[in-house]
Amino acid sequence: MIGIISFVAFTSIVAIIAYLATRSTDEKTSDGYFLGGRSLTAGVIAGSLLLTNLSTEQIVGLNGSAYKDGLSVMAWETLAAISIVFTAIFLLPRYLKSGLTTVPQFLEDRFDGTTKTITSALFLTGYVVVLLPVILYSGSVAISGMFNIPEMLGVSEKTGLIICIWGIGIIGSIYAVFGGLKAVAVSDSINAVGLLIGGMLIPVFGLMAIGDGSVFDGLDTLVSANPERFDSTGNKGQEVPFATIFTGMMLVQMFYWGTNQQIIQRALGAKNLAEGQKGLLLASFLKILGPLILVLPGMIAYHYFDGNLASSDIAYPELVRAVLPDYLVGFFVAVLFGAILSSFNSVLNSSVTLFGIDIYKQHINKEASENTVVKYGKIFGVCLALSAMLIAPLIANAGSLFSYLQEINGIYSIPIFTIIVIGYMTKRVPAIAAKIAIVAGSVMYIISQFIMKPYFIEKALDEAKAAGITDADALHMVETEAYPHYLHVMAILFLLNSVLMLIIGKLKPMATPYVQEYSKQVNITPFKYVKQFGAIICIIVIAIYWYFAK
């Protein structure tokens, strides 16, 4: 009961503060609703970025990967810092100079409206079919399990799960659909503080549990027991082999932090360029600390349970139940709920933005007023939320989806990133090149990962078994080496797509070179020390890798 009370209290406080902070914002205009009136400050941007990125599929999934592979999976967190610095220095100034509300709007300016529509449709498809339902499902599994909802309400596990899905979905919809970006960003900032505190409690109590009450003794025990697991360089067969850091990993990171609408929308709402850059730099520094919450608990769980858990996916929740005092469980679940809610409402808000600006205004009602665009964007958001809530219960085995999600997102992430990079780097590559590249990139990736890869893996396993190999570890190695890692495939397709666009640009260049216009919607004077702070952050990341490299 104490847990329920603290959960309701924390959630209510966040809602009240978000309402008070946004009641004066004019949300009848596109800027007011979709970008918080272009008034977001550095702290709000950083907090919102952090919470948008974190949810149960990452908190549970990445710690599960750390349980299995050790420190090498920290690449998903630490390398993000370099990508955010890249976004702050190179991409955000260009976005704000054009006064963009959505990333696809740049593609319309640079290429044409059809390119923008295709890109927006790809974003929305990924959000609706995969991301929103997975966030709802994985979050509901965590909340239902920690609060034991089925027993509390006297219902079956399936019914309890559905209740949580609809509860999270409805509350998230209220923030995202009826509150606009500023309500989302403010609530994210408050939840970010709670997540940092609550997230750090798990490794602290975990280390105390294996160190007889001492955090430092626990850390010494953890390192000395399995020193090989503290290697920052992953091996073949692991989720992040070291070589992938220099190929597809950085591309995925730069797409996610620099061009993914659900993420970059927070920076697009900055009151000016300097404030946006400071927010991004603060977020990049916080990402360096991310492994303390998203990797270390999984490594502690491996030692605490002697690596004997039935599945790596349950490592984090099992550790929470084992080491966290009862009086803190309610607060932790409230913080976790905030992370779930943040990811859901952030993706939903970005989907509403993409639909309202890039589809409704562009193709359905070109004469629509800003008030009308916001109105129908909200209607679309409600429909989207309902669809996600209906799809979510159909998803199974959500805990193992972290790596799979990264792979399947390559269908649209690398093609979109390619045309944005080439669009900024060149002035005469035509719209037809972008259309061909985005379609070809998606098709080639689907053929590679969902037709060729299964074929080669099955063939290699059959040959291994025919040769008398039956050991599970040996078969896993055969499976791993049968086909290139999906991050390498992404890098190869990025290069092929880029070359394809450049060739088309050479053969059929635009008659008039592209020139970016300054919209004068925000001040684009950069933060004076953005490059210096960016360099420091990059040096810290490299030093961390160097220190832990074996």
Report domain extents, the chain: 2-12+28-400+518-548, 427-513
Please state at what angle helix 75-86 crosses helix 530-548, rounded to 10 degrees.
160
Residues 6+ apart with CB under 8 A from 63: 294, 295, 297, 298, 301, 315, 316
Percent above pLDDT 70 for the chain? 86
| pLDDT at residue 132, as a whole number | 82
Average pLDDT of span 490-511: 95
Maximum mean pLDDT: which of 12-26, 383-397, 531-545: 531-545
Side chain identity, residue 338: G
Q: What is the 3-state secondary structure (H, E, C) of 472-520?
A: HHHHHHHHHHCCCCHHHHHHHHHHHHHHHHHHHHHHCCCCCCCCCCCCC
Residue with tokens 């953005």: 530
Average pLDDT of span 466-482: 81
Maximum mean pLDDT: which of 111-120, 218-227, 318-327, 408-417: 218-227
Q: How would residue 1 be classed by pLDDT, with cut points 50, 70 and 90?
A: low
Rg (CA), the chain: 23
Average pLDDT of span 241-270: 88
The answer to whether 188 and 52 are in contact (CB under 8 A) is yes
Q: Does the structure show a pLDDT above 80 at 191?
A: no
Closest CA to 463 of 478, 453, 451, 477: 478
Provide DSSP, 265-277. HHHHTBSBHHHHH
The answer to whether 130 and 405 are in contact (CB under 8 A) is yes
SS3 category, 102: coil
Q: How would residue 397 be classed by pLDDT, with cut points 50, 70 and 90?
A: low
* Cα–Cα distance, 182 to 27 (Å, whole number): 9
What kind of architecture, by CATH, is found in domain 2-12+28-400+518-548?
Up-down Bundle (1.20)
* Cα–Cα distance, 135 to 468 (Å, whole number): 42
* Cα–Cα distance, 28 to 165 (Å, whole number): 30
| pLDDT at residue 141, as a whole number | 75
* Cα–Cα distance, 530 to 192 (Å, whole number): 23
Task: State residue 529 phi and psi, 5-degree precision.
Answer: -110, 25
| pLDDT at residue 34, as a whole number | 45
* Cα–Cα distance, 373 to 368 (Å, whole number): 6
Burial profile 299-326: b = 16 or more Cβ within 10 angstroms, e = fewer: bbbbbbeeeebeebbbbbbbbbeebbee
| pLDDT mean across residues, the chain | 83
| pLDDT at residue 314, as a whole number | 77
Q: What is the 3-state secondary structure (H, E, C) of 292-338?
A: HHHCHHHHHHHHHCCCCCCCHHHHHHHHHHHHCCHHHHHHHHHHHHH
> For residue range 13-61, what is the model confidence (pLDDT) as tens digits?
666 665 565 555 544 444 444 444 566 889 888 887 877 777 777 887 8
Strand partners, 234: 241
Q: Which has more pLDDT, 15 or 296?
A: 296
* Cα–Cα distance, 197 to 360 (Å, whole number): 41
| pLDDT at residue 399, as a whole number | 44
pTM of the entire predicted model:
0.82
Task: State residue 339 phi and psi, 5-degree precision.
Answer: -65, -40
Residue 399 half-sphere exposure toward CB, CA atoms < 13 A: 15
Average pLDDT of span 78-106: 90
Task: Report the range of poorest mean pLDDT among 218-227, 387-396, 515-524.
Answer: 387-396
Tokens standing for residue 549: 């490299």
| pLDDT at residue 322, as a whole number | 87
| Overall size of the chain counted in residues | 550
| pLDDT at residue 330, as a whole number | 73
Average pLDDT of span 63-67: 91
Average pLDDT of span 482-510: 95
Percent above pLDDT 90 for the chain? 39
| pLDDT at residue 218, as a whole number | 95
Average pLDDT of span 283-293: 92
Closest CA to 176 of 389, 50, 360, 347: 347
- Chain-centre distance of CA 511, in angstroms? 39
| pLDDT at residue 20, as a whole number | 63
The answer to whether 429 and 509 are in contact (CB under 8 A) is yes
| pLDDT at residue 295, as a whole number | 95
| pLDDT at residue 23, as a whole number | 54
> For residue range 417-471, what is the model confidence (pLDDT) as tens digits?
999 999 999 999 999 999 999 999 999 999 999 899 999 999 998 888 888 888 7
Tokens standing for residue 381: 């958001």
Closest CA to 377 of 345, 344, 355: 355
> For residue range 149-189, what is the model confidence (pLDDT) as tens digits?
888 888 887 888 889 888 888 877 776 555 544 555 566 66
Average pLDDT of span 517-529: 90
Average pLDDT of span 201-220: 94
* Cα–Cα distance, 353 to 35 (Å, whole number): 9
| pLDDT at residue 215, as a whole number | 94
Task: Report the range of poorest mean pLDDT among 2-16, 88-102, 525-539.
Answer: 2-16
Q: How would residue 481 be classed by pLDDT, with cut points 50, 70 and 90?
A: confident
Residues 6+ apart with CB under 8 A from 507: none
Please report, for residues 40, 259, 270, 320, the alpha-carbon distance to residue 32 in angstroms, rounded to integers and kept in the order given: 11, 21, 12, 40
